[in-house]
Amino acid sequence: MRQDENLTARASKTGSGDTVVALSSARGVGAVAVVRLSGPDSWAIARKMVAGRKKFGALSPRKMALCNLIGGGGELIDRALAVKFAGPASYTGEDSVEFHCHGGLAVSSAVIDAALRHGARSATAGEFTRRAFLNGRLDLAQAEAVDSLVHARTDEGRRAALAGLDGGLGTQVEAMRRSLIELKTELEYRIDFPDEAGQGLSAEKIESLLDDSLAKLAALLQGARRALLACRGAVVVIAGAPNVGKSSLFNTLLGSNRAIVTATPGTTRDAVESELVLDGHLVRLVDTAGLRESSGEAEQMGVEYSRHYIASSDVVLFVHEAGSDFRRAESEFLAEYGHGKLVRVLSKVDLNPVPDDEAEGFIPVSAKTGQGMPRLRRAIATAVESATGGSGEKTSPVTSLRQQKLLEEARELLRAACPANPPEIIAADIDEVCTRLSEITGRISGEDVLDSIFSRFCIGK
Ligand SMILES: Nc1nc2c(ncn2[C@@H]2O[C@H](COP(=O)(O)OP(=O)(O)O)[C@@H](O)[C@H]2O)c(=O)[nH]1
Ligand SMILES: [Mg+2]
């Protein structure tokens, strides 16, 4: 399917002929709430909602004006700022309107109700950005960067998301795709006219063109891990035998009581995850029992952790109780995971004090008294820093795992493409690579991919 046909088909499927409305600012009490309307009828709907001396029709696009907003029955809802945007020069690419009204839910709900009564429908999660993508205002990689920017909690995350939003990834990927298509066209010419062609395209020449793309992919992937960790946060998993104080440590690090702490071993039955910022790094701290053993004894002997979380972790906090012997399960765990991304902790040192010089690489802490906690925070931040590849790497415009995975697949496919193969085989390989590149920017993408990306967005974005 060609790109524009593809878009038309999608537009009708997602109903983007409708006009949608949503609260675009955060829900709750605040000074200002922003209600956004987008779609072909947005101006007509706003015209019916604005009354008084200032008429909506008289407003110039992109100029704010103070208006009276009227609900059903002509009742005044609020005095608010209104601004209209004329498509395609708007976020969504469609005609749209923003009302900047007084904050709090009563006002914004009444404004939304009025828009709904005049024929708008409620926007689904990410629908404004989805429309921006479908109307060519953003490519898919930029749309994902919007989501990362909205969710950024650290300066590092904000910078990484902005790098993705400036369109650098789409431009680079598209340039690479074009040059590969050129190569493919030449190869196809050689297939169709084997006698005429060939002079200009030796195996060496093909190899150097493929190598060129490989180098560009490598450059994009370099720093991607760091950018992704900045956007998504580093996963730090707490592991250790039951009752050593993992959940207490989790709560102390977070300064809250998210995980349940009891004197009965084996209380934490499910993984609990919470975010915190350490030294400017976003950390997703996970407390998990992981093992759903029914027998009390197995649980007593085991180490609580979840393989699933460990596999996707960036750092593991291994907790051992001060003054206790190492259990077999603990030694086994350390033998399996004890290299690289491990921070070792000795817990409950208020009960069994351990001088630093006897701690043997473990950090002595007490969740009860707070002893050792600043040092543990620094150690986690340092481990996260080294997991992200150090501070020196340049930022990458990659902002989602999806983009990283597609870039990696493209690299593997290119590596496997052998310049000595017959031209039709190389052309088919190049096709595969181009498909991956097109998926990054959304030139090609299934409805399911779009659904999964945009459903993660907030409503109103
Ligand atoms: N004295 C003291 N007790 C602790 C400390 N940390 C945890 N505990 C106690 O140890 C028991 C088990 O703690 P918990 O955090 O649930 O351990 P988990 O099973 O590893 O998650 C509870 O009774 C806690 O109150 C500590 O630093 N000092
Ligand atoms: Mg626990």
Region 116-123 average pLDDT? 96
pTM over 0.85: no
Q: Are the CB atoms for 160 and 229 separated by under 8 Å?
A: no
Among 237, 238, 248, 268, say which to mutate for ligand 1: greatest number of ligand atoms within 8 Å of CB. Answer: 248
Q: Is residue 4 exposed (0-12), middle (13-18) or buried (19+ Cβ within 10 Å)?
A: exposed
Q: Is the dihedral of CA 295, 299, 301, 306 positive or negative?
A: positive
Q: How many angstroms is it from 163 CA to the middle of ligand 1?
A: 43
- Which atom of ligand 1 is closest in space to residue 241's alpha carbon? 20
Ligand nearest to the CA of 265: 1
Region 195-201 average pLDDT? 61
For 459, which DSSP code?
B
**What's the pLDDT score for residue 13?**
43
Compute the distance between CA of residue 198 and CA of residue 203 in angstroms, rounded to an integer. 9
pLDDT tens digits for 345-384? 999 999 999 888 888 899 999 999 999 999 999 999 999 9
Cα–Cα separations (whole angstroms), residue 340 to 65, 232, 314, 316, 337:
59, 21, 10, 9, 8
pLDDT tens digits for 214-257? 999 999 998 888 888 888 889 999 999 888 999 999 999 998 76
**What's the pLDDT score for residue 11?**
46
pLDDT band at 291 (very low <50, low <70, confident <90, very high): very low
**What's the pLDDT score for residue 3?**
43
Instruction: Residue 402: name the closest of 210, 211, 164 by CA.
Output: 164
**What's the pLDDT score for residue 199?**
58
Compute the distance between CA of residue 20 and CA of residue 306 in angstroms, rounded to an integer. 43
* More confident call, 200 vs 282: 282
Compute the distance between CA of residue 419 and CA of residue 334 in angstroms, rounded to an integer. 46
For each of the domains in the chain, give its residue range(s) and CATH number, in order of start: 3-137 (3.30.1360.120), 155-223+396-443 (1.20.120.430), 230-387 (3.40.50.300)
- Ligand 1 pocket list (CB less than 6 A): 240, 242-248, 261-263, 265, 267-268, 347-348, 350-351, 366-368
Choose from 28-32, 35-39, 184-188 the range with maximum mean pLDDT.
Answer: 35-39
Contacts 24+ apart (CB under 8 A), 203-209: 203/419, 203/420, 204/419, 206/419, 206/426, 207/419, 209/179, 209/183
- Which atom of ligand 1 is closest in space to residue 251's alpha carbon? 15
Choose from 5-9, 166-170, 297-301 the range with maximum mean pLDDT.
Answer: 166-170
